Structure 1
Amino acid sequence: MEGSTLQPFTNGQDIPVTRDHYETFAGIVSFQLTSDEASRLQNGPLYLWLSGSTPEIVLQENEDGWFVKPELNTSRMSAGNTLKIKFWTIQRGVLSDNYTPELTIRNPSAEELGQYKNPPLSLNGSGVPDTGLTIGTFTRISTGVGEIEVTANSITIAQLPTFRQWAQSQVYFLGGNWYNGEGQGQPIPSISNGFTILLWVDKNLPPAPTWDDVKNLLGGYAGIYPGMRDILDIGDEVIVNNPTHAQSMVDRMSLPVYDPGYMPVTRDMSPADSQLIISYLQSVLGSVTT
């Protein structure tokens, strides 16, 4: 765009929206730039628009050509864990030190969530308590590359909103001045619209767990995945205490966390809670956890 006028590429083309084109090219469209166009891209942003008598812009670069590339977009943490999140800061395709990303606890707005569900999703109560994470400042590693360290602090069940207490964990959404979302002024595009960190409650495990220690955890998972009850109702004490079922659960929960057969498949149970349940199941089987 020059001034207020869109300048189409000489070799630009309409992007087909057919299923066949997507399955063949994965939505990727390429074309050759002229030398003049390549030069102009160093001074102006790219736009994608819907063709018609009045073009409608549907996607655009940051006006200054900035693009932020975070290394990851989700993590799971226990108290005392630290996580270093790497960022690449790129301006018009070149790594640059002229931009410093920030990171803060930032819950998505109702407007942002509303585009995914009707009625809009609600995340009221996420990010509580805000003392759960300590977020550092950006440290430069090399040209256009740096990192921000996040430390997980201890939180208790009593500090959690009621609807998160059964899970004994909290979800934190992190964004910043690079976050491509509502209310951030001129957005800076990113391959990630922020991070989510699942922080597990800090807890001491009982030496000899009983059903009372595990029933809320198992019952919670049985409640949010009711289809599992047709296979194995893990919220039913009698069923769980069946040695055959107990052994099956131990086998699944003892797999490496990235194994496709690992349970729970959501990978949102803390290592401490997983060990608590395994210890209980092993007591059912007559063995002792070491």
Structure 2
Amino acid sequence: MDIRGNMTMSYLGVPRLHFAGTFLARPSTINNDIANYDPTTSPLDPGWNPDGDARWDLLGCQVTAAYYADGTSAASASADPIVGTPLISISSPPAKIVDLDPDQQLVSEIWGLRVRLGGPASGSLDARYRVAAFCDLWPRAQQSTGDQPLGASYQSALEDIEWPQAPASRFLADLHRASPDLLSIKFNLDGINLDQGPTLGHGRVVGTVGPASADEPKHFVLGRLLRPSRQQGKNQRSAFTFAQARVCTDRKKVIVDLGNSLPTTTPGGPIDASLIGEVELAVVDQGGRATTLGPVQYQADDWYTSTAGVQEFPDGRTLSDAQLAALEGGRLALLPAGSGGVGPASRPPLIENASSSVLRADRYVYRLNPGDEATVELYLTKAGKPLAGETIALAYAPQRLPAEETVGTPESALAFPTPTIPEKTDGNGRVRFTLKAADPGNPRQFIDGQVYGVAYSWPQEQPGQAQADPSLFVSALVWDAFTFTPPATWWGTVQPILSQYARLYPFMMQFVDLGDYGSVVANRSRIEQVMKLDPEHPGYMPVTRDLSRAKRDMILGWFAAGAPEGTPPS
């Protein structure tokens, strides 16, 4: 269906279900420190999990509520057997969580995840999770410090779905009818435990599964975006962060996802009412007057786990024609209850920008070899509707990356249209541009390649009181060109590559010492097997997905040639 139509689908719709439980993230942290890549560095900075194996998993997740296609709901197994059933990972080996680069650790991706939803009483479906990076990382537990207070979210698609035959669950039957080929999944993570012990790497997860359309973005909702207000003081920060929303004109509802937007008292703890107070969703007109759509019920019992922070407005009724008309020209906002509106100096908790516009890249993380090209797809909406005929600007943006050293150079290694994309947005608000990779020339010495930030913007955007979205850029890792004089040998070409993995990922020592020729040769068939897998397979090696195609092909060729040792350095 054309995304301009009324049947736009996403997890912010019906049918949908919510789930809650625990996640496990167990990355190795030695590779987080740039200095650890230098073979002369000693001792290494271990970080919080030096023996991590990159495992990512869902633990004890259960369905907490289900909403049918007609908008009614089930909150118990007696109402629908899907409620209370597990959502688990069935990946074998386990899925992996992977940073793009030590100079860009804020777009960690989940690779190789396959999930099962349901149980014997309801029927169950299996599906593959499309690789995705997290977004909207922020200090959610604002009275704490360090990394444990952080929250983030993942949104992606479930593909290659295997449905149950004649499910006993009415919800699964509704979901299958609505979206048989593709589903949307969004989940929020917070409260990760970084203390050593059996729950190291555990944290809280809540999420939502709903229908999806093949011609819509997979990693964000084609709708509206509530943003935190710009703060007046230089060091002040908002107690809130970005929230997606969607106006369902067919059902006459506004659905807002506040799951990663509200602060908590402690990491993984209760939502912090002292920072929020009584708040309501409203539509603000051009004069700043507010039409209330209803209170946010975040203080209700089990609200967060049973809704994943997703709430429909208004509660118990539909939007009036006047409210629907107000949404066409007004801005959605989260306001203190009874405030009545927004003045020029107001700092509402959340509000759309003054142009009610959203510009987002669907996929925003890329790995490129010299000579590779990749297509980036952007979508522009205004008041939740596609905006056609608009020009999008592009620029190099190394300052967007959380880097410890110089990144984004040389610019010649990543080409794209500047200062604007030649084509304008189409009738679906969509425009594409191409990234073209070349050899960066090893600017970081001990780290292969270079990492780049590419910023995109709509010049006509009007921010108003709203903060700019810091996620409006694409991250790209471009590997160095790699050549060698044949034949490849252990000492001449292979050992410098594999020994770095042995140094940075000591968990591999229980299987193979990648820095030792004898150990590598003894495990040759196993190493070859995992290096030949599709990178989306959970068993692919290296798990960090940071080995260039040229180096991988050289190593596989070396194995095929009998793995000659060559001459050790004198």
Q: Shorter-chain TM-score: which interval? A: 0.7 to 0.9
Task: Pick closer, same or farther for the CA change 1:2–1:140 going to 2, 3 Å.
Answer: closer
1:122: Cα distance to partner?
3.5
1:213: Cα distance to partner?
0.9
| SS in structure 2 of the partner of residue 41 of structure 1 | helix
Question: Which of residues 510, 528, 538 in structure 2 aligns to 1:250?
Answer: 528
1:227: Cα distance to partner?
2.2
Conserved in 1, the CA contact under 8 Å of 2:361 and 2:379? yes
Q: Match for residue 29 of structure 1?
A: 311
Q: Are residue 140 (structure 1) and residue 424 (structure 2) matched?
A: yes
Quick one: distance in 1 between partners of 2:506 and 2:430? 45
Report Cα offsets for 1:107-160 as digits up to 9, x if no partner.
345xxx7xxxxxxx5443221222211111421362222112221122222xx1
1:200: Cα distance to partner?
1.2
RMSD: 3.2
Task: Pick closer, same or farther for the CA change 1:42–1:234 going to 2, 3 Å.
Answer: same
Conserved in 2, the CA contact under 8 Å of 1:107 and 1:123? no
| SS in structure 2 of the partner of residue 176 of structure 1 | strand
Quick one: distance in 2 between partners of 1:50 and 1:107? 38
| SS in structure 1 of the partner of residue 295 of structure 2 | coil
Quick one: distance in 2 between partners of 1:274 and 1:19? 53
Q: Match for residue 149 of structure 1?
A: 434
Q: Match for residue 193 of structure 2?
A: none
Task: Pick closer, same or farther for the CA change 1:122–1:81 going to 2, 3 Å.
Answer: closer
TM-score, normalization by structure 2: 0.42
Task: Pick closer, same or farther for the CA change 1:123–1:17 going to 2, 3 Å.
Answer: farther
Quick one: distance in 1 between partners of 2:398 and 2:322? 42
Report Cα offsets for 1:149-176 as digits up to 9, x if no partner.
221122222xx12xxx334221111112
Q: Are residue 214 (structure 1) and residue 494 (structure 2) matched?
A: yes
Q: Specify every segment of 5 or more residues in structure 1 that has no aligned partner in the other structure, as ranges.
A: 114-120, 180-184
Quick one: distance in 2 between partners of 1:186 and 1:270? 41
Q: Match for residue 42 of structure 1?
A: 328
| SS in structure 2 of the partner of residue 76 of structure 1 | strand
1:197: Cα distance to partner?
0.9
| SS in structure 2 of the partner of residue 148 of structure 1 | strand
Task: Pick closer, same or farther for the CA change 1:267–1:99 going to 2, 3 Å.
Answer: same
Quick one: distance in 2 between partners of 1:169 and 1:46? 43
| SS in structure 1 of the partner of residue 329 of structure 2 | coil
Task: Pick closer, same or farther for the CA change 1:81–1:237 going to 2, 3 Å.
Answer: same
Quick one: distance in 1 between partners of 2:561 and 2:301? 54
Q: Specify every segment of 5 or more residues in structure 2 that has no aligned partner in the other structure, as ranges.
A: 1-283, 340-345, 460-464, 565-570
Question: Which of residues 163, 169, 184 in structure 1 aligns to 2:449?
Answer: 169
1:186: Cα distance to partner?
6.6
Structure 1 window deviating more from structure 2 (277-286 vs 91-100): it is: 277-286
Matched residue type, 2:353 = N
Report Cα offsets for 1:207-255 as digits up to 9, x if no partner.
321123122221222222222223322122332132xx12111111011
Matched residue type, 2:547 = M
Conserved in 1, the CA contact under 8 Å of 2:451 and 2:478? yes
Matched residue type, 1:60 = I
Quick one: distance in 2 between partners of 1:61 and 1:141? 21
Give the total of aligned pairs.
263
Quick one: distance in 1 between partners of 2:290 and 2:533? 56
Quick one: distance in 1 between partners of 2:297 and 2:437? 45
Task: Pick closer, same or farther for the CA change 1:44–1:108 going to 2, 3 Å.
Answer: farther
Conserved in 1, the CA contact under 8 Å of 2:407 and 2:451? yes
Quick one: distance in 2 between partners of 1:124 and 1:63? 36
Q: Match for residue 546 of structure 2?
A: 268
Quick one: distance in 2 between partners of 1:123 and 1:19? 44
Q: Match for residue 129 of structure 1?
A: 410
Matched residue type, 2:407 = S
| SS in structure 1 of the partner of residue 398 of structure 2 | coil
Conserved in 2, the CA contact under 8 Å of 1:246 and 1:284? no
Conserved in 1, the CA contact under 8 Å of 2:361 and 2:474? no
Quick one: distance in 2 between partners of 1:4 and 1:241? 73
Quick one: distance in 2 between partners of 1:101 and 1:19? 45
Matched residue type, 1:9 = T
| SS in structure 1 of the partner of residue 348 of structure 2 | strand
Q: Return the structure number with greater strand share.
A: 2
Question: Which of residues 514, 518, 522 in structure 2 aligns to 1:234?
Answer: 514
Task: Pick closer, same or farther for the CA change 1:29–1:156 going to 2, 3 Å.
Answer: same
| SS in structure 1 of the partner of residue 375 of structure 2 | strand
Conserved in 2, the CA contact under 8 Å of 1:133 and 1:152? yes
1:88-99 to 2 correspondence within 5 Å? 88-97=379-388, 99=390
Q: Are residue 86 (structure 1) and residue 377 (structure 2) matched?
A: yes
1:270: Cα distance to partner?
1.0
| SS in structure 2 of the partner of residue 47 of structure 1 | strand
Q: Return the structure number with greater helix share.
A: 1
| SS in structure 2 of the partner of residue 103 of structure 1 | strand
| SS in structure 1 of the partner of residue 478 of structure 2 | strand
Quick one: distance in 1 between partners of 2:548 and 2:458? 30
1:37: Cα distance to partner?
2.5
Conserved in 1, the CA contact under 8 Å of 2:364 and 2:376? no
